[in-house]
Amino acid sequence: MSDFELVWDARCEVAESPVWDAANQRVLFCDIDGKRINALAVDTGERESWEFAEVVGSFGLCRSGRLVVAQRHHVVLFDPRTGAHHDLTPKVAEPSVNRLNDGKVGPDGAFWVGSLDGNSPRQNTATLYRVTADGHITAQESGYMNSNGLAWSPDGRIMYHSDSTAGMIEAWDFDPVSGGRNNHRVLATLTNPEGRPDGAATDMDGNYWSAAPSAGCLNCFSPAGQLLRKWPFPVPGPTMPCFAKDWLYVTSLRDGKSDAVLTEFPTLGGLFRATAPVQGAPVGLFAA
């Protein structure tokens, strides 16, 4: 595996949700607290950014060329070509301190997005939602502290999810047409030194790659939860991997780091990449 290189010194407080946009040959990622989505053309290095009125927890690609975007308490549709915003869902019934967090489009064409509890210490008030193209949003699971780590197997028949605060990675058998789930199981429970799970991606071999900011690495698990690889990251705080062509892109965070750490690693909050050891699973497109 090649070493990582910095490709965008964005210095986001929390860079997250990298998404491979094959149609436009670019990787997009969000700056959550900066209320921004960034796009990097992988061949030319050209950059583009779009500003939002609220935090951007995550987003996904739409069949129409738009983006489906998780804001603090609701989901919007955004057209990068025109700048047009359209409210897709009503506000979710979440505590005011909570916000929507990790989200990803599933093989069922729906946008799955979870929330995180904003209390300190965190409580079990976070929820995982499913959003359809008609704006219908339904709670699927509850009792989390920090819903995260959404990803699907390359055949769309396994759904992965994590709770970062609890350190837990779970999975269900998944119906890629209806979005139905069954056969829930917990694959791993991880401590800080092992690497609590953050954002994730899957590869074409069916393995689950989990960013582990508490351990400064990426953990690669088999579908059964066996740890296959631990890939050290060059700076603390990797937040989410994304396979794109022959590359693996990973976002990172600055938030919560000491002045000493920021002095040692000034490019925290940037976008990094390395040669991918395997191709990534297909990227889902929202049915809108």
End-to-end C-alpha distance for the chain, whole angstroms? 37
Structural contact between residues 280 and 19, judged by C-beta atoms closer than 8 angstroms: no
Q: Write down the pLDDT at residue 1.
A: 44
Q: Over range 145-161, report the average pLDDT.
A: 98
Structural contact between residues 261 and 246, judged by C-beta atoms closer than 8 angstroms: no
Structural contact between residues 103 and 126, judged by C-beta atoms closer than 8 angstroms: no
What strands lie across the sheet with 67-70, from one edge to the other? 85-87, 75-78, 67-70, 58-62, 285-286
For 267, counting Cβ atoms within 10 Å of its Cβ (0-12 exposed, 13-18 middle, 19+ buried), the class is middle
To 10 degrees, the CA torsion angle through 252, 32, 154, 171?
90
Given pLDDT bands bounded at 50, 70 and 90, which one contains residue 3? confident
Q: Over range 75-93, report the average pLDDT.
A: 96
**DSSP 3-state of 166:** coil
Q: Is 90 exceeded by the pLDDT of residue 31?
A: yes
Given pLDDT bands bounded at 50, 70 and 90, which one contains residue 134? very high
Cite the DSSP H helix spans in 124-269: 259-264
How many other C-beta atoms lie within 10 A of the C-beta of residue 275?
12
Structural contact between residues 83 and 150, judged by C-beta atoms closer than 8 angstroms: no
pLDDT (tens digit, 9 = 90+) per residue, 162-174?
999 999 999 999 9
Look at the pTM and tell me if it is higher than 0.95.
Answer: yes
Q: Over range 128-139, report the average pLDDT.
A: 97
Report the number of secondary-structure helices (H) and strands (E) in the chain: 1, 25
d(CA 29, CA 13) in angstroms, rounded, equals: 13
Q: What is the largest CA-CA distance in the chain?
A: 49
Q: What is the mean pLDDT of the chain?
A: 97
DSSP class of 91: P
Q: Which of 250, 214, 213 is closest to 7 using CA atoms?
A: 250
Q: Over range 142-153, report the average pLDDT.
A: 98
Domains plus CATH for the chain?
5-286 (2.120.10.30)
Pairing of strands 147-152, 137-144: unpaired
pLDDT (tens digit, 9 = 90+) per residue, 43-53?
999 999 999 99
